[in-house]
């Protein structure tokens, strides 16, 4: 089934299907980020409602925009999953020594088998037929504890449906007391970093060295890890690799770290988990953590759950206030209820933006008969909050201190000690719509540590203050003292051994006339694989060298853009470890791009100079086939000490000129990075730019 539509002044279009798939759409662009889009939906993969929305980035603001949602209806019973429910025992029930677990399994197709899993053990077959199934359960060996019961059913076509979890006790369950402790300092670790740490024990040497280092920047040590546990590259660590997760958590505890599971909404995109209609996958995501803990020894258990569901990203957070806000509060209340049912001591804290107490869409939310700021409702529900207090200054009305003050005061009013974590950003965020002032990326680590000292001075005696959390591991490793000739960067422990080759032969496929997608297996290393280098050539036997470097990736896939149409490209992949050692290049793979009527545009010249406390970047673009200068609009941003995003058109001579924000520093480094080039009838063939980067350094000593 082909879905199609149009777009105006939007780029990077994707389609979201049923809150569990995000995929790119094909575009027929004019060269000005407007045109027609289409997507070929595999309708035979669905049975029932199909909710569809197309999302993209606004050309002017760079913030996300949505199409209206539509719902299609599919009727193909061969892919219909069984509906599974545990009907006995009931949730929170006290079970006898001999208990019968009863399951109801309903489906459009005949049920082949029903299975039950207790406390994360082996799946065991339940007896029965039709829609009712039973399994005898002897609880005597368990002693006094809470147990998890899960059920799944498989139909004759191999479709698998799963129940939500039922929690029962052999002694009765009281609401567990939660040990909410200091989390200073904490650090977010997303799946591109968490999976290597879990799967490769040797990579933990780098994490330990960085987290315990207090000398390079005069920083405090990391004590709490928010470990991403979502699915990644086809693996679900909490389902498929529980033994390796246990090994990591046990190691972390032995080394003095506390580990919290970092989860999102169980949906794609993650913030869909806030919607009531997606409550089931959101609960499954949370229950995976509970069930993992119940199946693990105390030293192998997570110490808490950090919840990163950000409902404000949804378009109707603003257009349909307070509907999404209320659904999000209901979600939080429900996962806390599930935690209590599990009997676990497992503090739960959502990450929230700093403005939930002041925004027009959040400062007066009615819920359960009480109207108050969204932040206060959340603080009433949760054990703690992690404020995304993303600012690059501590003081002033827009600084970190003032932006967190209300949440700390409310936490003290409701007597929740250690319940406010203050999060700060180190990521390079200037590509999106947010201003550079929300991150310490431009200022560097020395400035950040000085500002955080002010935060500690303001709040360290406050009973509600639980510490500072840093976002996030990958960017923090690479953030230097400052950008410039005097920069000092953190160094991983010395290592001379290169990584191995990637597993198997990489796979390549052309998405359209200018894009090739690559995937490849993981490489192994005696420490940590930091990234993968992707090499590109137009001949099968090209060398894997700097001249053929197409780009790098942290994960096991890469999208190569800005290519020429109707051209065959060859690729090799090599792993690089945290010390910069490069492994052996992979075998070669290839793909051939499609056709287009658009003409390829390239950057012919690009320069940057620092003068009068600003950087000035100039750029000239041309038609690749002839070298003829083309009038374009350049959308790009300054880098390193700069972060300003600009949209500038070329002048009569074809030159685009952009000025940075003020950079009145005695020394520094600044660059310019084009992100998009637009011109009617053209597309940016960035792989063929004659100039790839522009940057400059200055210092008072050489003036």
- The model's confidence at residue 651, banded by pLDDT at 50, 70 and 90, is very high
Using alpha carbons, list the distances in angstroms from residue 40 to 503, 561, 597.
Answer: 31, 21, 21
Domain match, 84 and 65 both = no
Say if CB 184 and CB 468 are below 8 A apart: yes
The CB density around residue 380, as the number of other CB atoms within 10 Å, is: 17
Number of structural domains (the chain) is: 5
Whether pLDDT at 172 is above 80: no
The token pair that represents 481 in the structure block? 């003292």
Sheet containing 568-577: order of strands: 549-553, 529-537, 568-577, 589-592
Name the residue range of residue 90's domain: 80-169
On whether residue 179 sits in a domain, the answer given is no
Domain match, 309 and 448 both = yes
pLDDT of residue 493: 95
- Residue ending a domain, choose from 544, 569, 592: 592
Domain match, 334 and 382 both = yes
* Burial (CB count within 10 angstroms: exposed 0-12, middle 13-18, buried 19+), residue 158: exposed
* Burial (CB count within 10 angstroms: exposed 0-12, middle 13-18, buried 19+), residue 188: buried
On whether residue 501 sits in a domain, the answer given is no
CATH number of the CATH domain containing 631 = 2.60.40
Q: Mention every residue, 6+ apart, whose C-beta is less than 8 A from residue 695.
A: 608, 639, 640, 669, 670, 671, 672
The Cα–Cα gap between 153 and 151 comes to 7
The rounded Cα 537 to chain-centroid distance in angstroms is: 31
What phi, psi does 693 have (nearest 5°)? -155, 155
- Residue ending a domain, choose from 592, 617, 634: 592
CATH number of the CATH domain containing 125 = 2.60.40.10
| Tens digits of residue pLDDT in 285-306 | 999 999 999 999 999 999 999 9
Domain match, 608 and 651 both = yes
The Cα–Cα gap between 202 and 524 comes to 10
Average pLDDT over residues 41-50: 97
Domain match, 97 and 240 both = no
On whether residue 343 sits in a domain, the answer given is yes
The Cα–Cα gap between 399 and 389 comes to 9
Q: Is 249 helix (H, G, I), strand (E, B) or coil?
A: helix
Q: Residue 473 belongs to what H/E stretch?
A: helix 473-478
Say if CB 389 and CB 352 are below 8 A apart: no
- The model's confidence at residue 173, banded by pLDDT at 50, 70 and 90, is low
The Cα–Cα gap between 593 and 340 comes to 54
Using alpha carbons, list the distances in angstroms from residue 153 to 133, 138, 185, 236, 267.
Answer: 10, 22, 44, 20, 22
Average pLDDT over residues 166-192: 92
Domain match, 445 and 530 both = no
Backbone CA torsion sign across 357, 362, 366, 367 = negative
* Burial (CB count within 10 angstroms: exposed 0-12, middle 13-18, buried 19+), residue 511: middle
Average pLDDT over residues 653-678: 97
The Cα–Cα gap between 412 and 407 comes to 9
Q: Is 441 helix (H, G, I), strand (E, B) or coil?
A: coil
pLDDT of residue 228: 99
Whether pLDDT at 175 is above 90: no
Domain match, 54 and 92 both = no
Residue among 201, 179, 305 nearest 252 (CA):
201
| Tens digits of residue pLDDT in 59-73 | 999 999 999 999 999
Say if CB 634 and CB 658 are below 8 A apart: yes
Domain match, 235 and 293 both = yes
| Tens digits of residue pLDDT in 591-650 | 999 999 999 999 999 999 999 999 999 999 999 999 999 999 999 999 999 999 999 999
Whether pLDDT at 702 is above 60: no
What is the full DSSP assignment across 586-654?
---EEEE----SSEEEEEEEEEEEEETTEEEEEEEEEETTT--B---EEEEEEEET---EEEEE--TTS
**Vertex 21 angle, CA 188 and 9, to 5°:** 90
The Cα–Cα gap between 693 and 637 comes to 12
What phi, psi does 232 have (nearest 5°)? -155, 125
Domain match, 69 and 91 both = no
| Tens digits of residue pLDDT in 557-572 | 999 999 999 999 999 9
Domain match, 300 and 361 both = yes
On whether residue 181 sits in a domain, the answer given is no
Using alpha carbons, list the distances in angstroms from residue 202 to 206, 520, 527.
Answer: 8, 21, 5
Average pLDDT over residues 540-555: 97
pTM of whole model > 0.85?
yes
Q: Is 264 helix (H, G, I), strand (E, B) or coil?
A: coil
Q: Please state, rounded to an integer, the average pLDDT across all residues of the chain.
A: 97
What phi, psi does 495 have (nearest 5°)? -155, 130
On whether residue 143 sits in a domain, the answer given is yes
On whether residue 27 sits in a domain, the answer given is yes
- The model's confidence at residue 280, banded by pLDDT at 50, 70 and 90, is very high
The Cα–Cα gap between 472 and 478 comes to 10
| Tens digits of residue pLDDT in 76-131 | 999 999 999 999 999 999 998 999 999 999 999 999 999 999 999 999 999 999 99
Give strand pairing partners of 154: 113, 160
On whether residue 492 sits in a domain, the answer given is no
On whether residue 498 sits in a domain, the answer given is no
Q: Residue 312 belongs to what H/E stretch?
A: none
Domain match, 278 and 398 both = yes
Domain match, 545 and 657 both = no
Length of the chain: 703
Cis peptide before 210 (omega within 30 of 0): no
Maximum pairwise Cα distance, the chain: 86
Q: Mention every residue, 6+ apart, whose C-beta is less than 8 A from residue 595.
A: 513, 565, 566
- Residue ending a domain, choose from 569, 592, 615: 592
């Amino acid at each position: 089934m082909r879905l199609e539509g149009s777009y105006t002044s939007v780029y990077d279009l994707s389609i979201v299907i049923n809150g569990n798939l995000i995929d790119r759409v094909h575009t027929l662009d004019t060269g000005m980020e407007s045109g027609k889009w289409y997507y070929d939906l595999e309708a035979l993969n669905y049975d029932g409602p199909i909710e569809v929305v197309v999302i993209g980035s606004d050309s002017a603001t760079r913030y996300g925009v949505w199409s209206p949602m539509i719902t299609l209806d599919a009727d193909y019973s061969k892919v219909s999953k069984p509906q599974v429910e545990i009907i006995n025992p009931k949730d929170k029930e006290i079970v006898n020594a001999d208990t019968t677990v009863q399951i109801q399994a309903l489906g459009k197709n005949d049920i082949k088998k029903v299975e039950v899993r207790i406390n994360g053990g082996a799946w065991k077959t339940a007896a029965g037929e039709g829609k009712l199934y039973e399994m005898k359960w002897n609880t005597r060996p368990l002693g006094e504890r809470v147990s998890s019961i899960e059920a799944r059913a498989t139909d004759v076509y191999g479709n698998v449906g799963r129940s939500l979890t039922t929690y029962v006790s052999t002694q009765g369950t009281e609401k567990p007391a939660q040990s909410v402790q200091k989390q200073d300092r904490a650090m977010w670790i997303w799946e591109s970093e968490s999976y290597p740490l879990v799967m490769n024990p040797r990579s933990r040497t780098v994490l330990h060295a960085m987290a315990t280092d207090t000398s390079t920047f005069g920083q405090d040590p990391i004590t709490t890890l928010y470990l991403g546990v979502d699915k990644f590259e086809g693996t679900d660590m909490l389902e498929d690799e529980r033994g390796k997760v246990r090994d990591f958590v046990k190691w972390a505890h032995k080394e003095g770290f506390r580990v919290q599971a970092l989860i999102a909404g169980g949906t794609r995109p993650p913030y869909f988990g806030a919607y009531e209609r997606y409550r089931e996958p959101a609960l499954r995501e949370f229950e995976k953590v509970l069930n993992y803990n119940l199946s693990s020894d105390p030293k192998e258990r997570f110490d808490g759950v950090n919840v990163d569901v950000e409902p404000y990203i949804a378009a109707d957070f603003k257009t349909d206030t307070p509907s999404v806000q209320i659904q999000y509060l209901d979600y939080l209340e429900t996962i806390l209820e599930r935690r209590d049912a599990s009997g676990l001591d497992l503090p739960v804290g959502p990450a929230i933006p700093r403005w939930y107490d002041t925004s027009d869409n959040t400062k007066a939310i009615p819920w359960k008969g009480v109207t108050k700021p969204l932040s206060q409702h959340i603080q009433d529900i949760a054990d703690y909050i992690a404020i995304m207090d993303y600012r690059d200054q501590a003081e002033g009305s827009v600084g970190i201190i003032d932006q967190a003050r209300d949440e700390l005061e409310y936490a003290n009013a409701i007597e929740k000690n250690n319940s406010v974590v203050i999060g700060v950003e180190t990521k390079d965020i200037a590509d999106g719509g947010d201003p550079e002032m929300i991150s310490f990326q431009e200022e560097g680590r020395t400035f950040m540590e000085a500002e955080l000292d002010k935060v500690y001075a303001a709040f360290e005696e406050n009973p509600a203050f639980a510490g500072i959390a840093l976002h996030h591991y990958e960017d923090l490793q690479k953030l230097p003292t400052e950008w410039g000739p005097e920069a000092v960067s953190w160094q991983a422990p010395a290592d001379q051994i290169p990584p191995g080759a990637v597993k198997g032969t990489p796979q390549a496929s052309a998405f359209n006339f200018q894009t090739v997608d690559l995937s490849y297996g993981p490489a192994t290393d005696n420490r940590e694989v930091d990234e993968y280098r992707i090499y590109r050539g137009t001949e099968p036997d090209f060398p894997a060298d700097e001249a053929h470097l197409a780009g790098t990736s942290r994960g096991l896939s890469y999208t190569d853009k800005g290519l020429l149409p109707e051209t065959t490209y060859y690729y090799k992949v090599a792993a690089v470890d945290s010390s910069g050692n490069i492994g052996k290049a992979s075998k070669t793979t290839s793909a051939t791009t499609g056709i287009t009527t658009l003409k390829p545009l390239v950057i012919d010249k690009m320069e940057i100079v620092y003068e009068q406390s600003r950087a000035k970047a100039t750029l000239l673009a041309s038609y690749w086939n002839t070298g003829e200068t083309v009038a374009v609009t350049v959308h790009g941003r300054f880098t390193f000490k700069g972060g300003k995003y600009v949209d500038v058109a070329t002048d009569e001579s074809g030159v685009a000129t952009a000025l940075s924000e003020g950079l009145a520093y005695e020394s520094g480094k600044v660059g310019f990075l084009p992100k998009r080039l637009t011109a009617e009838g053209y597309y940016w063939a960035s792989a063929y730019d004659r100039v790839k980067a522009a940057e400059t350094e200055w210092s008072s000593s050489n003036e």
